């Protein structure tokens, strides 16, 4: 018996397109790279104590509203709707389901939305707390963003791993600077030679240009970029300083003031694509130094 998805000569290790833009299937060869990346990224934080959290692919709608995501990025958010009627009401919709009509017209928004970033649930765990010492998390989850385009690397469903911290302003700025240097060196050891660039988030609405300019002027978002394919450069990781945005939103303090937060985020699929572009699709054929950086024998 041949198992679908096992490594074979037919498995190039490249993501497989589906019938919707920005959503892919990942064969066994690609998943080996993802697993190696998780191990390598996990090893980067071994010097400090981080609380590991596996984040589900859905998040409380109330929490994401509290975090300010709805106001800033409504165009990226995926909501969860469901049918709450009875059998009689559904019987009226069955013909629409069978004909490809608007069978979903009677669905209502639920108390959940799709997870847009892995770090958001972590901040809620310290809501209302007075942080006497910095808090550190290591989080991972499958995220969703309703991207406007679907070029290489622009995933709508993707996996994210993040190191996250909350504490005073001095702690968070120093923490981020240290992680930026550490990750840039690690990615260089993997043969990716990332470029570090000041960036901004895709804010929405009439105030977006003002928010983006402020974010850039304060260098709150620093992206590490690499080639994912010919003439296709994307951010594969980012070092972010949120100032007191989440401290104010979730009501936690540090050092007698509103708490600050920072995160170091890794886009697993994008890093995997960059590695495949640099070294080929098969992990076994990569240079020994690169495999060592991924904790692979």
pLDDT at 89: 87
Tell whether the torsion through CA atoms of 250, 254, 260 and 263 is positive or negative.
Answer: negative
Helices 169-189/28-44 angle, 10° precision: 130
CA end-to-end distance (rounded Å), the chain = 29
Is the CB of residue 283 less than 8 Å from the CB of residue 272?
no
Cα distances (angstroms) measured from residue 161 to each of 16, 42, 91, 130, 217:
22, 9, 43, 26, 26
Q: Domain extents for the chain? A: 16-78+116-293, 83-111
Give the distance from CA 224 to its chain's centroid. Answer: 14
Bridge-partner residues for 263, per DSSP?
Answer: 164, 240
Residues contacting 1, CB < 8 A, separation 6+? none
- Average pLDDT of the chain, as a whole number: 92
Per-residue pLDDT reduced to its tens digit, 182-206: 999 999 999 998 999 999 888 898 8
Question: Considering only 49-53, 94-98, 161-165, which range has the smallest mean pLDDT?
Answer: 94-98
Among 22-26, 27-31, 78-82, 88-92, name the one with the lowest average pLDDT: 88-92
What is the mean predicted confidence (pLDDT) over 81-110? 89
Which phi and psi (to 5°) does residue 166 adopt? -135, 140
Q: What is the pLDDT of residue 99?
A: 86
CATH fold group of domain 16-78+116-293: BirA Bifunctional Protein; domain 2 (3.30.930)
Q: What is the pLDDT of residues 165-186, one digit of tens each?
A: 999 999 999 999 999 999 999 9
| pLDDT value for 8 | 42
pLDDT bucket at 297, cuts 50 / 70 / 90: low
Provide mean pLDDT across the span 60-79.
95
Structure tokens at 255: 């050092």
Q: What is the CA radius of gyration of the chain?
A: 21
> In this structure, what token pair is assigned to residue 83?
């049918």
Report the alpha-carbon distance of residue 76 to residue 57 in Å, rounded.
Answer: 15
């Amino acid at each position: 018996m041949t198992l679908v998805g096992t490594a074979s000569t037919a498995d190039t290790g490249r993501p497989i397109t589906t019938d919707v833009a920005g959503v892919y299937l990942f064969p066994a060869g690609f998943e080996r790279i993802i697993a190696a990346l998780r191990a390598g990224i996990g090893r980067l934080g071994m010097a400090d104590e981080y609380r590991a959290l596996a984040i589900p692919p859905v998040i409380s709608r109330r929490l994401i509203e509290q975090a300010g995501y709805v106001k800033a990025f409504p165009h990226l958010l995926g909501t969860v709707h469901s049918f709450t009627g009875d059998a009689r009401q559904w019987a009226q919709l069955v013909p629409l389901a069978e004909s490809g009509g608007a069978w979903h017209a009677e669905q209502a928004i639920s108390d959940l939305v799709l997870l847009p970033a892995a770090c958001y649930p972590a901040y809620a765990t310290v809501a209302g707390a007075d942080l006497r010492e910095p808090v550190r998390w290591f989080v991972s989850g499958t995220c969703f963003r309703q991207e406007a385009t679907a070029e290489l690397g622009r995933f709508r469903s993707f996996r994210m791993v993040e190191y996250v911290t909350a504490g005073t302003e001095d702690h968070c700025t120093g923490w981020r600077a240290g992680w930026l240097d550490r990750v840039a060196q690690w990615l260089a050891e993997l043969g990716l030679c990332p470029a570090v660039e000041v960036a901004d988030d895709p804010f929405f609405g009439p105030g977006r240009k003002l928010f983006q300019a402020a974010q850039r002027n304060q260098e709150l978002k620093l992206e590490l970029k690499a080639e994912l394919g010919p003439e296709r450069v994307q951010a594969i990781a980012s070092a972010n300083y949120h100032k007191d945005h989440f401290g104010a939103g979730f009501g936690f303090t540090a050092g007698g003031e509103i708490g600050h937060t920072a995160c170091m985020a890794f886009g697993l699929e994008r890093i995997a694509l960059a590695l495949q572009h640099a070294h080929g699709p098969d992990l076994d054929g990569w240079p020994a130094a690169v495999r060592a950086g991924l904790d692979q024998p």
